Structure 1
Amino acid sequence: MLVNWNGSHPGYHVLFFTNGTYLGTATSKYYGYTTVLGKTKNTVSVQYRWVKPEDALCCPSGGPTVVTYTLNGTTVTAQGQFPPDPDK
């Protein structure tokens, strides 16, 4: 989901559903430069990149890092390293 924010690049939330029930977002905060790389029946792999202070907005050099989310019943767990907090 594209998020309207005051940042220099659009922010995105990844939303999780199972059997029509909303489970929540992948992260509590939205991030720019977010890409869903792939999925299976029970997993979703998301790539995060971020802009470092010396970067042009077109070319983030932070990352990439990949987080794999796994659905187990109605619980989603994450494995991988998240990007730095966008508000810090």
Structure 2
Amino acid sequence: MTVEWQGIHPGTHVLFFTNGAYLGTATAKPYGYTQVIGKTRDTVSVQYRWPNPEDALCCPQGGPSVVTFTLNGTSIQAQGQFPPD
């Protein structure tokens, strides 16, 4: 599930659930320019982009980076590179 909001600095949180139980978010803080690009029964692939220092907020050139989240029992394992802070 994603939670998105609009505004000057839009952002997205990716939330994980299994069998009706909440497992947590993909990241501790939400990121802008985040998109779920694929999913299977046990995985979710999330694409992250980010603005470089010289980029306008409308047009981020950083990335893309794809992180794949895999359900392992009742926990989520992430593989890939997250955006820089």
Q: Is TM-score (shorter-chain normalized) higher than 0.5?
A: yes
**TM-score scaled to structure 2, two decimals?**
0.91
CA distance in 2, matches of 1:82, 1:45: 12
Q: 5+ unaligned residues in a row in structure 1: which ranges?
A: none
1:67 aligns with 2:73: no
Hey, what does 2:23 align to over in structure 1?
Answer: 23
Give 1:30-49 correspondences, 5 Å limit.
Answer: 30-49=30-49
CA distance in 2, matches of 1:75, 1:27: 14
| Pairwise CA distance, 1:24 | 0.2
Q: 5+ unaligned residues in a row in structure 2: which ranges?
A: none
What RMSD over aligned residues (CA atoms) do the two structures have, in Å? 1.4
Aligned residue pair count? 83
Identical counterparts, % of pairs: 75
1:42–1:18 distance in 2 versus 1, CA, 3 Å: same
Larger proportion of strand? 2
**TM-score scaled to structure 1, two decimals?**
0.88
